[in-house]
Amino acid sequence: MSNAVASYLHFMGAALVKLRQTGAIVPSQRFLIGKMLAPIPETYTGQILELGAGSGALTVRLAARCPKARILACEINPALARATRHNLDLAGINGRVEVISDSAQHVISEMSRRGKGKVDYVLSGIPLGALPGDRAQAIIDAISRVINPGGMYIQFQYSLIDRKRVRSRFKILRTVPVLLNFPPAVVYYAQR
């Protein structure tokens, strides 16, 4: 069995166990990943925070695209966090990415507490639409506090349910459909 098929099956198994937490049953495909990474310069050397890393499909491409960036990938599901580490190892880039199995809110508050506070880019695959409204808003609020002025919050979703919530914290918001992804998705590019 190929690594790609094994990775898909592992993601599907972990997702089916905790579907509300994962929000999808297949990892993001290249069309979606390409849209998520498009605003980040390949020469970027700062800190990037990825929330909801899943099995690391985006994480691996991000680390390969931005070899000088410091990447902190957060995944609440321990099985998927292990899969992310494994996929980074297979790609030969795990040493440049820190993977944490914890909630997004806890990781962001720990970053602030340790003085590692602000970042220029937050990429998120957290299924906001599957969360209770107050929890989704709390995550968006935390993200808005961790981004540097001029930084960007890049979020993908399978619906526009939380567009208004994102707009409440980010004045500039552009929504781009990704129809070639399965299932079709939208990407939010948000700035304060």
The pLDDT score that the predictor gives to residue 4 is 47
Residue 162 tokens read as: 């939380």
- Cβ distance 18 to 169 under 8 Å? no
The CATH number linked to 22 is: 3.40.50.150
Domain that holds residue 129: 3-191
- The whole-angstrom distance between residue 158's C-alpha and the CA centroid of its chain comes to 14
Q: Is the C-alpha dihedral spanning 160, 118, 46, 126 positive or negative?
A: negative
Q: pTM of this prediction?
A: 0.85
Looking at the 3D structure of the chain, how many domains does it have? 1
Query: How far apart are alpha carbons 102 and 64 in whole angstroms?
Result: 24
The pLDDT score that the predictor gives to residue 19 is 46
The widest CA-to-CA distance across the chain, in whole angstroms, is 47
The pLDDT score that the predictor gives to residue 83 is 96
The pLDDT score that the predictor gives to residue 44 is 97
Element (H, E) at 124: strand 119-124
* Average pLDDT of adjacent 10-residue blocks, the chain of 192 residues: 48 47 59 97 97 96 96 96 96 89 94 83 96 95 95 96 96 96 95 94
CA angle 146/26/134 to nearest 5° reads 40
- Cβ distance 57 to 33 under 8 Å? yes
- The whole-angstrom distance between residue 185's C-alpha and the CA centroid of its chain comes to 14
